[in-house]
Each structure stands twice: as C-alpha cells, then as structure tokens.
Amino acid sequence: MKEYLKNTWLGIYTVLVGMKVTISHLFKPKVTIQYPDVRVKLPERARNRLYVNIDDCIGCDQCSRACPVDCITIETVKAVPGEDLGTTSNGKRKALWVTKFDIDIAKCCYCGLCVYPCPTECIWMTDVYEFSEYNRDNLIYHFSNLTPEEAEQKKLNYQKFEEEKARQKAAVQAVNNPNKQDSGNLS
C-alpha cells in the first residue's frame, strides 16, 4: 500500500518536474542557425574546396603523388630555352609549363595531404563548401591557365626543340667522329 501511494506520488511529481523543465525551455534562446541566411564562421583550418594558384605552381607533381585517391592529374611540358616563365612568388624559377592541372573534387576526400608537400604553397583549402552540381563532370576543376591550343603549341614547341637538339647532336657527332658509322644518338 505504501509502495502504491509512493508510486502515485512519484508519477505525478515526476511529470510536474518534466513539465517545469520543458516550459522553462520556452524562454531559452534558440539554438537554430538558419543556415542559408546565417552562416557559422568556419574554423581556421577547415578543409573544404581546394584552390590552386596556378601562377605559382611549378608543376612538380608532388601534390598529385601525395593524394591518396589520385584525384589530381598533372601534365607538364618542359619550357624551351628562351621561354621565360618567370618566378613564383617565393622566388622559385618556373621551368615547366603546366599544361593540365585537373582536380576531380568529386573524388577528393578533403584529407589535405596535397597541401603540405607543395614547395610554393600554391594549393590550399578555401572556405567554399557549397559547390554541388547537376553534372558530375562539372566537378572536375581545371586549374591550368593554358588553353588546349596553347598547351598543344607548347608540346609542339618542345618536340621541335628536342628534334632540333637531336639533329644538332647528330651533326656534332658526325663532325667529331667522321669515320664512325652513324650509330644513332647514343652518346
């Protein structure tokens, strides 16, 4: 009987306690952040969309090799003598045309591993995190600042230069060892 009355009392009392708690929440400040209108400030080291400052990139391919999911594709072409590519902002001389610098951000796992090895600090995480697309292909970002034609041109230039060099070499060889058979370019 005592147990029974105690249960009754507890039942009523605990309900009242609960009601007090809930009603007190009516007057508490709301925690909702109305996202598209109000944005939370991101932590300083938040990892979101990658950005590459291609002007500083020396095409060393280190970022691509660091990437665990292989989502960075880099193609480079050597510059021919006479072409001046300038220097990066921290004074490194650029020697390669970066003809292709694609990041498939759809594959990216935002690990940030590509950011650290870069010698010129030209690949980094931005604070952009809203970049959904209707077409998956649009998630492949092209960072190279050369148009396909220009890239083609650079490749051609380099090929020509190589051929030129090979021919010159052959010519030099022919001059130096006139009796030797032309045994190719193996010098």
Q: How far apart are CA 111 and CA 108, in angstroms?
A: 8
Nearer to other proteins, 28 or 41 (CB): 28
Q: Give the bridge partners for 97, in sequence order.
A: 77
Instruction: Return the residues of window 64-93 that contact ligand SF4 according to CB under 6 A.
Output: 66-69, 71-72, 74
Residue 40 CB, shortest distance to other proteins, in Å, is 16
Q: Can you tell me the distance from the alpha carbon of 91 to that of 54, in angstroms, rounded to the nearest whole number?
A: 15
Q: Which amino acid is at 62?
A: Q
Q: CB atoms < 10 A from the CB of 147, how many?
A: 9
Out of 78, 112, 153, 161, which residue is the one contacting ligand SF4 (CB under 6 A)? Answer: 112
Tell me the site size for other proteins, rule CB under 8 A. Answer: 17
Q: Which residue among 2, 3, 26, 137 contacts other proteins (CB under 8 A)?
A: 26
140 CB-contact burial (10 Å; exposed 0-12 / middle 13-18 / buried 19+) = middle
Which of these segments, 24-32, 91-99, 115-123, 141-149, binds other proteins (CB under 8 A)? 24-32
- Decide if residue 96 touches ligand SF4 (CB under 6 A): no
* Binds other proteins by CB under 8 A, chosen from 1, 3, 28, 135: 28
DSSP 138: G
- DSSP-derived letter for residue 124 is E
Minimal distance, residue 12 CB to other proteins, in Å: 8
